[in-house]
Amino acid sequence: MRRIDRRAFLKRTLGLVGVSALMAACRGQEATPTPTQAPAASPPPALAATPTPAAATPTPAAAATPTAAATVSAQPMRIGILLTLSGPASPNGEANLRGLQLAFEEAGKAIGGRPFELFIEDSGGNPDQALTKIRQLVEQRQIHLLLGITLSNEAAALRDYIHQNGIPTIVTNAALQALTRDPKMRSPYIFRVSYANGQYDSPVADYAYNELGYKRMMGFGADYAAGKEELAAFKARFTKAGGTWVDEIYSPMGTQDFGPYLQRIQQQAGNIDAVFQFHGLSSDAIRLVVQYEEFGLKDQIPLIASGATTDDSILAEMGDAAVGLVSGTVYTASIDTPGNKQFVQAFQQKYNRRPGQVDYLGYLGGLVARAAIEAVKGNVEDKQALLQAIKSVRVNAPAGTFSFYPESQGPVHTVYICRVAKASDGSYYNEILKTIPNVDDMTFM
């Protein structure tokens, strides 16, 4: 685990070297489940900082009522970030971290008049390691707020610990449906800015049936919770529209050779019109798209990709193999608004790359956290006021105004149906075909 203080944080940009440094974090011994009192952190030295011009403005939630300003601690707020920064799903964690770092860098040296420190941990894509790391953040670092969580199985493993210890948490990637949709699993301490599995992919099923004319489809997913939920959501919408779901297959994470699975798809030639695919934002997704074309299937059986697969951040790695793929997403750098253009410019200036959906969701999580902290004037020790501030927040974000669905504390997003295209300069981008507003995480299926 590495603590990033303000001086180091403002100097740092995330690249391959930065990610390697984060993944070299110390393991330590697993702490006991009961939180223990840690020594108070010392305030960082005064630092004059000029923040990057903000691409979006967090709007404080008026409903929050903080306690008297005199009770606010002068110690830095401690904000934990727990992400998958190693293993097959590390592109998700790395992208989330890029967005989070930019959002907090734009805050300057303080939020709500109070300095802050970030503590970053790598879950390794392993639920047991995620539990170990969250215990370190809570019991040793005494964090006031947690952001991140990359995978659905990690979210399932962490839910009870978060709830029992009352940790205000903003999930920036993990999409386990039950986390916000199931009344038995929801927690007043858990909010999600990303999505529930299928929230942005299932509307594409209607598009595939009604506008692309696909009547018979099969699914191909990664063999873990998210893959199964994504295929189930797409199947439910596709069959509801009138389509026939022929079959579905799954490959383990870390698959290098998709040949056996592609043979099974090829055997369905003449029996299906298209394949819906979900392998997340991962090295698996890149290999699959490239091998799908090499196998000769791209022109034979069209591939409807998850928006995670056609994320702007990895299009260059797939090259021409991705051109023409249709998908849904809650963010693309192609959104033509002044706020998004400003965000893209700031992001490119810092990271020398275009932001993708997961970069954006990390950034959005940072904006929501900043808005809530501003609303309570930095008094994050008043947990109930902080939770109310998060619940009530409205943020003017690059993809539009963001708020939480009251019942679930999950996100309400605009879904963009896109097609991958190649620009005249040889770069790849998502061309927006259709915009579907106000897609919440409760009614998309």
* HSE-CB of 341 using CA atoms within 13 angstroms: 3
Give mean pLDDT, residues 52-66. Answer: 48
The confidence score (pLDDT) of residue 73 equals 83
The confidence score (pLDDT) of residue 59 equals 56
The confidence score (pLDDT) of residue 112 equals 96
With a pLDDT cut of 70, the percent of the chain lying above it is 84
The per-residue pLDDT for range 207-245, each reduced to its tens digit, is 999 999 999 999 999 998 889 999 999 999 999 999 999
Using DSSP's 3-state secondary structure scheme, residue 346 falls into helix
**234 vs 219: CA distance, rounded Å:** 9
* Full-model pTM: 0.81
Q: Which of the two residues, 52 and 435, has the higher pLDDT score?
A: 435
Which conformational region is residue 174 in: left (phi greater than 0), alpha (psi within -120 to 50 degrees), or beta?
A: beta
Delimit the domains of the chain by residue range. Answer: 2-35+51-69+76-195+336-412, 202-334+414-440
The confidence score (pLDDT) of residue 55 equals 44
**426 vs 401: CA distance, rounded Å:** 32
Read off the tokens for 357.
């959906």
Residue 12 has pLDDT above 70, yes or no: no
Residue type (1 letter), 328: G
Q: Where are the beta strands (DSSP E) in 75-129?
A: 77-83, 110-111, 114-122
The confidence score (pLDDT) of residue 72 equals 80
Q: Which residue has the tokens 């401690």?
A: 78
For the domain bounded by 202-334+414-440, which CATH number is listed?
3.40.50.2300
Phi/psi for 84 (5° steps) reads -80, 105
The confidence score (pLDDT) of residue 14 equals 37
Under a CB-based contact definition with an 8 Å cutoff, are residues 149 and 173 in contact? yes
| Count of residues making up the chain | 445
Q: Which of the two residues, 68 and 132, has the higher pLDDT score?
A: 132
**274 vs 271: CA distance, rounded Å:** 9
Contacts of 235 (CB under 8 A, 6+ apart): 205, 219, 245, 248
Read off the tokens for 424.
């005249």
Q: Which of 231, 236, 228, 229 is nearest to 218 (CA)?
A: 231
The per-residue pLDDT for range 387-429, each reduced to its tens digit, is 999 999 999 999 989 999 999 999 999 999 999 999 999 999 9
In the DSSP assignment, the letter for residue 272 is: B
- Count the Cβ atoms, other than its own, within 10 Å of residue 127: 17
Instruction: Give the CATH number of domain 2-35+51-69+76-195+336-412; options: 3.10.20.600, 3.40.50.720, 3.40.50.2300, 3.20.20.370.
Output: 3.40.50.2300
**122 vs 108: CA distance, rounded Å:** 25
The confidence score (pLDDT) of residue 56 equals 54
- With bands split at pLDDT 50, 70 and 90, how would you rate the model's confidence at 102? very high
Q: Which of the two residues, 18 and 135, has the higher pLDDT score?
A: 135
Residue 30 has pLDDT above 60, yes or no: no
Bridge partners of residue 80, in order along the sequence: 119, 146
* CA 336 remoteness from chain centre: 21
Residue 6 has pLDDT above 60, yes or no: no
Q: Which of 42, 40, 33, 311 is nearest to 164 (CA)?
A: 33
Q: Is the four-CA dihedral 362, 366, 368, 372 of positive or negative sign?
A: positive
Q: Where are the beta strands (DSSP E) in 34-83?
A: 57-59, 77-83
Residue 127 has pLDDT above 80, yes or no: yes
Phi/psi for 222 (5° steps) reads -70, 140
**442 vs 445: CA distance, rounded Å:** 8
The confidence score (pLDDT) of residue 283 equals 85
Under a CB-based contact definition with an 8 Å cutoff, are residues 257 and 286 in contact? no
**365 vs 166: CA distance, rounded Å:** 19
Give mean pLDDT, residues 155-160. Answer: 97
Give mean pLDDT, residues 33-51. Answer: 33
Q: How high is the mean pLDDT of the chain?
A: 87
The per-residue pLDDT for range 180-206, each reduced to its tens digit, is 999 999 999 999 999 999 999 999 999
**187 vs 380: CA distance, rounded Å:** 19
How distant, in Å, are the alpha carbons of 152, 314, 323 from that of 110? 32, 33, 43
Contacts of 88 (CB under 8 A, 6+ apart): 125, 253, 254, 282, 283, 284
Residue 253 has pLDDT above 60, yes or no: yes
Residue 5 has pLDDT above 70, yes or no: no
The confidence score (pLDDT) of residue 74 equals 85
Under a CB-based contact definition with an 8 Å cutoff, are residues 388 and 404 in contact? no
* HSE-CB of 437 using CA atoms within 13 angstroms: 4
Read off the tokens for 95.
């992208």
The confidence score (pLDDT) of residue 445 equals 81
- Read out DSSP for 384-403? HHHHHHHHH-EEEETTEEE-
